[in-house]
Amino acid sequence: MLSRSTVSKAQVLAKLGQLLPRSSGSSMVRGALLHTLKPRQANAAATAPAEPGSASSESSGDIAAQAYAPLDTFLRRHNGPRDSDVGAMLQALGFASLDEMVAATVPASIRLAAPLEISDSEFAEKELLAKLKAIAQKNQVYRSFIGTGYTDVVVPPVILRNILENPGWYTQYTPYQPEISQGRLESLLNFQTVITDLTGLPATNASLLDEGSAAGEALVVCLNSARKKTRNAFFADRNCHPQTLAVLQTRAEGFGAEIVVGDYKTFDFSSLGDRLAGALVSYPDTYGNVNDFRALADTVHGLGGQLVVAADLMSLAVLQPPGEFGADIAIGNTQRFGVPLGYGGPHAAFFATTAANQRRVPGRIIGVSRDAAGNRAYRLALQTREQHIRREKASSNICTAQALLANMAAMYAVYHGPAGIRDIANRIHRFTQILASSVVRAGLVVENESYFDTLRIRVPDAAAIHARANERRINLRRIDAHTVGVTLDEAITREELAHLVDVFGGDVSALDSLASAAAPSVSQSAAVPEGLARQSAILAHPVFSRYHSETEMLRYITQLQGKDLSLANAMIPLGSCTMKLNATTELIPITWPEFGSIHPFAPREQTQGYAHMIADLERDLAAITGMAATTVQPNSGAQGEYAGLRAIRAYQASQGESNRDICLVPESAHGTNPASAVMAGLSVVIVKCDAKGNLDLADLEAKAAKHSARLSAVMITYPSTFGVFEDGVLRAIEIIHQYGGQVYMDGANMNAQVGLTSPGHMGADVCHLNNHKTLAIPHGGGGPGVGPICVKAHLAPFLPGHPELVKADGSPQSTVGPVSAAPYGSAGVLPVTWSYIKLLGGRGMTQVSKTAILNANYMANRLRDHYSILFTNENGMCAHEFILDTRVKMDVYLMSKCPDYDSNKNFDLRFNYIGDTNSTSSYGVHASATSSNSAYKKRPTPKPRSNSFSASSAISDA
């Protein structure tokens, strides 16, 4: 363990019985903690000259502290290379120390002068868990019946343990390489099948981020499918969930669309005429009403628009599917299919649509294909729509989705099967009928005309009802002074129902007779309008009828896991997405009920633990990036880009500079950069790179000058996507500021920056982080991700707000709209990043960065005699990633497989040769390193084939 805060030192002193004076205690502890970091550092400290007059006390203090110091320290477990490895790797590179290597890699002009400091950090693993448990216990786990798109669930233990808590699933990478991804691809195909069956729409994707952003994606599909640019009005029913409407409004701003909010039953759609692109309704709506939208579908279609339905997935097991009543697009959240609340996320959203829209579907689609031997295989389909190919022409920046949570939802459906899912849905509805009858018998009014699981109840005094509920540790929805909302879920028990009835002043003794009178299924219930009970079958594929015992389910999950490569099997050497150790200690807290069972709209007094942790995290991320303020709301890196650019635009508008609408983007940038810029309402101008892969400063300045009146921002990835710390970065920042623009720094490669430099130190105005790259959140096979943004002080007022984020006087915390459905995005996985930072502290994270750079350069050096390293700095050094040129080797390999191969004619073949099982190839090998990997091991010369290749600081065998 490294040095800790004053509090931690005091705890250590207490353990020593305060036998030593306070003046010697601090240095004693520091010596002991350094001892557990690296033995040779401790030895050096022990032999260093003591301060005058303190030699004996320091010596005894060091000895005593070492005797009591914990041994379960993190850094020595996190970083792969041992001391002897580091020495040998440095010797191979010609350096005497890590600092000397860093000096040859990172320009002196941008290096930090002072060490990175993280308060209250550098804990041993057991201490960390105890500290975080104490914070978690500040959260009060109430039984929440708030609804609004989030409900409690019963997570099948076989899925909890073997997917959510299983590194064989949560450490997988996005399935771009199908030959090592067949298991998760099959599971994601199951997810798509669930969504297709339940929505009655034929085309769906493999998940989106949340319901709010899915509504935004639906808006854009409607706009893009319109033949006329003037068709830019979009109707949204006022009874959709508030957070969905808020995110929809945010998304519309960048596309110049007008969101018209009203009551679909009374709104005059003809007033929009041929401007109508689409209409959004909720099914059931936010207050529980189950409406018949067949007439609305006809009206919208008659005006040339599309009908979008935000649907509750569980209700679709027993209600008529949207595809059958004329919906063109169905969206929603799959959280209630076995995924914990997690204070709002991560949860997998769904998006289903008609065949006519399938090439406009955002995100990834899993398709069925054949491998080289003719066997059935799965792969990503329609990949040409992905933003990294379409770039500024893309209508969506979706990159990271919610694959891990989609897999949980899919397995939930597989485990329960069609009959089980229907039984769950009917049980929820039956309990709701009993509650409704009890409330009416108590003299209150159920305002719903119909319902599935949600009641809007009119009461004389809502405050009194909430007070009675609070006494029973129950949360209800706060609607107004005389109206309360209640949403039931699969976890409801008779005891809880009795508590609810009692809260509303009902007769608990009548429950059993009311249960006998309630309809056993939706199809027999008077609470569902005639014709809206589902008649069509669900989940008819055999996979949903095979694995209903735990033994069968466990074997199925394990069978799929065995087809995939994860960090549990080997390193995953992929450039641009840094794959590092997802430590068990960091993952343990996410399934604690204090974190996992909290509703995102629970009262603030119940979520003080989350408030504490998030405040810690936002402060630490600001320190890491050299910025003034942070928000953790964006639930992917691409969403972080979008939120950061929106903050810039909002700031410029506040300065009377709304005309600034040009974003400069280097041609080397990740595809999400130009896509995010377009979503933020910016026009993209591409900036060239020179032959060495560096940003062409002359071209940058020429374009900044040309567009100075309209220049909004530049997006710079640093180190570059080509894996180099460019010397010209400070000049690039200076140019943009000179011409009135703001600098957005893409944090995808922060893994090489932390503790060595920072975006704020270099002069950037805003940056995002990929917590699933730099800060240890698992990739999960394609999500979840968290993309916080950190900003300078002048941009802080323009961070995204949320309907639930209000000041004490009830006014909004920010006038800028939300980018995520939940106030803090994927809050349920934030304990992972918090733990990572608190385990390592500033010194530990700096060591991680140095080790990642060492690993990458050592690997590049070992491969240099066999391949060309395409991009390095003037000293021949890369950052934490590098690109190998495999073209010559690939030509030799392909000629050995295909006698007629001609590298000048068969260009496409070089890019995607599928002649054997290790088929995928690419232009070059993009290798990324993190400290979790040790690249030092004597290896044979690599075979002449192209792979994505990356190392991390945890590599034990590259």
- Stretch 672-688: mean pLDDT: 94
Phi, psi of 382 (to 5 degrees): 50, 40
- Identify each DSSP E strand in 482-566 by its residue range: 483-487
Q: Give the residue with greater pLDDT, 358 vs 65.
A: 358
The pLDDT confidence band at residue 920, using thresholds 50, 70 and 90, is very low
The pLDDT confidence band at residue 574, using thresholds 50, 70 and 90, is low
- Full-prediction pTM beyond 0.85? yes
- Which of 947, 939, 943, 940 minimizes the C-alpha distance to 889? 943
- Stretch 541-561: mean pLDDT: 98
> Cα–Cα distance between 666 and 699 in angstroms, integer?
10
**pLDDT above 70 for 123:** yes
The pLDDT confidence band at residue 951, using thresholds 50, 70 and 90, is very low
CB-count exposure of residue 893 (10 Å: 0-12, 13-18, 19+): buried
Q: How many CA atoms, within 13 angstroms, populate the side-chain half-sphere of residue 49?
A: 2
Q: Residue 693 has what DSSP assignment?
A: S
pLDDT of residue 387: 55
Model confidence pLDDT, tens digit, residues 302-348:
999 999 999 999 999 999 999 999 999 999 999 999 999 999 999 99
Dihedral sign of CA atoms 525, 528, 534, 539 in order? negative
Residues 6+ apart with CB under 8 A from 810: none
* Span of 31-40, 874-883, 903-912 with lowest mean pLDDT: 31-40
Q: Residue 51 has what DSSP assignment?
A: P
**pLDDT above 70 for 13:** no
Longest dimension (CA), the chain: 92
Q: Residue 258 has what DSSP assignment?
A: E
Share of the chain above pLDDT 70, in %: 85
CB-count exposure of residue 483 (10 Å: 0-12, 13-18, 19+): middle
Q: Residue 409, SS3? A: helix
- Which of 34, 41, 254, 107 minimizes the C-alpha distance to 718? 107
Q: How far is CA 328 from CA 188, 300, 304, 667, in A?
A: 22, 10, 12, 36
Q: How many CA atoms, within 13 angstroms, populate the side-chain half-sphere of residue 285?
A: 22
**pLDDT above 80 for 591:** yes
Q: Residue 74 has what DSSP assignment?
A: S
Percent of residues in the chain assigned helix, strand, coil, to nearest 5: 45, 15, 40
**pLDDT above 60 for 410:** yes
**198-214 CB burial, b ≥16 within 10 A, e <16:** bbbbebbbbbbbbbbbb
> Cα–Cα distance between 917 and 947 in angstroms, integer?
13
Beta-bridged to residue 689, according to DSSP, are 695
The pLDDT confidence band at residue 897, using thresholds 50, 70 and 90, is low
Tokens of 795: 């941009």
Q: Residue 806 has what DSSP assignment?
A: B
Q: Residue 329 has what DSSP assignment?
A: E
> Cα–Cα distance between 958 and 951 in angstroms, integer?
7
Question: How many angstroms from the chain centroid is the CA of residue 633?
Answer: 10
Model confidence pLDDT, tens digit, residues 354-393:
999 998 999 889 999 998 889 999 998 865 455 556 676 7
Model confidence pLDDT, tens digit, residues 437-470:
999 999 999 999 899 999 999 999 999 999 999 9
Neighbours of 588 (CB within 10 A): 18
> Cα–Cα distance between 472 and 460 in angstroms, integer?
20
Model confidence pLDDT, tens digit, residues 530-540:
999 999 999 99
Per-chain mean pLDDT for the chain: 87
Question: What sections of 726-807 are H helices per DSSP?
Answer: 729-738, 759-762
* End-to-end CA, the chain: 27
pLDDT of residue 531: 95
CB-count exposure of residue 924 (10 Å: 0-12, 13-18, 19+): buried
Question: What sections of 562-671 are H helices per DSSP?
Answer: 584-587, 593-596, 608-625, 637-654
Tokens of 375: 């066997």
pLDDT of residue 30: 34
- Which of 234, 493, 201, 235 minimizes the C-alpha distance to 351? 201
The pLDDT confidence band at residue 25, using thresholds 50, 70 and 90, is very low
pLDDT of residue 575: 56
Do the beta carbons of residue 588 and residue 167 sit within 8 Å? no
